[in-house]
Amino acid sequence: MAFGVGVQLARYLGPEQYGLYGTIMALVALLSVPCQFGFTQLVVRELAVHSSRVDLPAFKGTLVGLSVGVVIASLLTLIVAFPALHWMPSWSAEHDAYAWLLLIVPIYALISFGSGVLRGMGNVVLASSFDALLRPGLFAGALFLVMHFTRTMSAARALGLNMMTAIAALILLLLAILRYLPLRLGSHMGVYQPRTWLGASLPMFATELLRTLDAQVGIMLISFNALPAETGYFRVAAATALFFGLPITVINLIIAPYIARFHALAEKRRLQRLMAGAAIASILGTGGLIAILLAAGTPLVVAVFGPEYGDAWLPMIILALAHFATALFGANQALLNMTNEEGSVTFGFLLGLAFTTVLSLLLVDRYGASGVAIGMLAGSVSRGFFMSWRSTATLGLQPGLLGVLTLLRSARPTPAE
């Protein structure tokens, strides 16, 4: 669904306005991270553990305490972000578009946190549907109606529609959370552990910040180099590459609470089988989608997005390969985060971001969007190597293709002597 919205926006806005929209949404993604402060990842793990142990006081305390934490973090983030936006190169000419950013950021943060609450309660598919289907679906419908009746679209107008449809999705998400809360939860006193939560959320926050920087550094580098059309090409490439990475994203969201439960119950064998199955599904799903793109070539990009986006094909292929590299290494990020190894994930993303930034800075002036895509591919590979090594060293588990091969060898019957 998000891919379809990207196609709409690319066609309605054109490369330059779509580049502006992409720059602002990259800032939304970055600012949503301190708004959540790692509490989204933490609430998935903690609610999954408390649910498996039927510990309702701890469940209630975690839900209420972390929800308040997200609200406070969002307010502080907006206070700091407003004056910083004046440093953006296009602020003076497009301040009306940037104004929507401050309204969208806390709504996106609350949607992410609410989806985390549902995942922690075991409603994984429903949780994923709000951000992956409902919100973009409402946005796509609003874009179509406005374009049909007015025949004009700008980045500022698209951002306004984005905010309004996100509010509608947030209301429906809150109703779903209330529907699935445990019975008799209100009769229990909550157990609050703010120091423990902060200690666990800090590395998760740092990891998510690095992950988001790694994903958005390309658009930011191109934006600061004053290449609006190149920003539009990269936005198209990145939006399509996210579509190719959708199997990985969905699988990680589904298995995260199960990882926490199996680890809490010390069921290592089941956990290894879960990681192997996730790796197989990610590799087949991502690889199949990339094969279709390679077979179709540039004509497919032109047919979908329009003739002005033909130059997006090469960076699109490179970014798709970065997602395939992630699939080969398996769901190591989810595994480490859900087993109290957040520090390893943080360092892995720091390492990947370093590779991405250095190579992108070296290549962006000469190769534009393709140069940044090469930097992101290098970052994905270096991050995957490190986190796979840490999964094996600390947990004795192999989350990627190597784990699949090891599991197959162990299942093969040995010849009788």
Annotate 161-178 with DSSP letters as a single string: HHHHHHHHHHHHHHHHHH
Q: What tens digit of pLDDT does each residue of 254-278 get?
A: 888 889 888 888 888 888 889 888 9
The answer to whether residue 81 scores a pLDDT higher than 60 is yes
| Mean pLDDT across the chain | 86
Higher pLDDT pick, 18 / 170: 170
Higher pLDDT pick, 28 / 220: 28
- CA–CA gap between residue 18 and residue 24 (Å, rounded): 10
Higher pLDDT pick, 414 / 234: 234
| Tokens (6 digits) for 349 | 């993303």
Radius of gyration (C-alpha) of the chain in whole angstroms: 21
Higher pLDDT pick, 166 / 23: 166
The answer to whether residue 345 scores a pLDDT higher than 70 is yes
Q: What is the pTM of this model?
A: 0.74
pLDDT band at 184 (very low <50, low <70, confident <90, very high): confident
The answer to whether residue 226 scores a pLDDT higher than 60 is no
pLDDT for the residue 411: 64
Please check whether residue 74 is in contact with residue 113, taking contact to mean a CB–CB distance below 8 angstroms.
no
The answer to whether residue 109 scores a pLDDT higher than 70 is yes
- Helix and strand numbers, DSSP H then E, in the chain: 17, 0
pLDDT band at 417 (very low <50, low <70, confident <90, very high): very low
Percent of the chain with pLDDT over 70: 95
The answer to whether residue 216 scores a pLDDT higher than 70 is yes
pLDDT for the residue 249: 83
Residue 269 vs residues 222, 334, 395, 397, 405: alpha-carbon distances, Å: 46, 17, 12, 9, 15
Of 128, 117, 162, 131, nearest to 12 (Cα)?
162
- CA–CA gap between residue 270 and residue 27 (Å, rounded): 39
The lowest-confidence range among 40-54, 228-242, 309-323 is 228-242
Mean pLDDT of 200-218: 83
Mean pLDDT of 297-325: 88
pLDDT for the residue 234: 87
- CA–CA gap between residue 95 and residue 115 (Å, rounded): 31
pLDDT for the residue 90: 60
pLDDT band at 56 (very low <50, low <70, confident <90, very high): confident
The lowest-confidence range among 94-98, 102-106, 118-122, 238-242 is 94-98
The answer to whether residue 250 scores a pLDDT higher than 80 is yes
- CA–CA gap between residue 76 and residue 37 (Å, rounded): 11
pLDDT band at 89 (very low <50, low <70, confident <90, very high): low
Mean pLDDT of 323-345: 88
